[in-house]
Amino acid sequence: MKLPIYCPSCEHSLKVSQLRCEVCSTEVNGNYTLPLYLKLSREEQDFIMEFFLASGSIKEMSKQAGISYPTMRNKMDDMIEKIKKMTP
């Protein structure tokens, strides 16, 4: 199931207000901000995971994705720019 990160009503970022233990049903309430990684789209999260699994090699990732090195590097640069804008 996809984790919603934006409010379906007003489109503002959502926050975590409740966490629950699956074993003993303990519930924790609060106002937690989502980690940066979870604020990214599913494709962007997958991209970061692939980058990690490829030992940080853009060349290896481009080989696996069947695209050229500069295309993959450009994709990476776009994401870096987006993440920089998201961080205060």
Partner 1 sequence: MSKNWRTVFNPFERYPERDLAIAGIVTLLLSVLLFWWAGQTNDGVYHVSPKADLSLAGALTEAIVYTLLVCALLSGLGKAINPKTRIIDMLNATLIHRIPLTLGILILQLPFIKTAMDQILRAVKTNHLEALSGATLWISTIISLLMMAFFVCAIVLLVNGFRTAAHARKVIHYVLFAAALILAEIIYRLLLYPLLLTF
Interface residue with partner 1, options 57, 77, 82, 86 (CB under 8 A): 77
> Closest separation between CB of residue 68 and partner 1, Å?
6
Q: How many residues bind partner 1 (CB under 8 A)?
A: 11
Smaller CB separation from partner 1, 32 or 69: 69
Contact between 74 and partner 1 (CB under 8 A)?
Answer: yes
- Burial track 73-86 (b if 16+ CB lie within 10 A, e otherwise): eebbeebeeeeeee
Contact between 56 and partner 1 (CB under 8 A)?
Answer: no
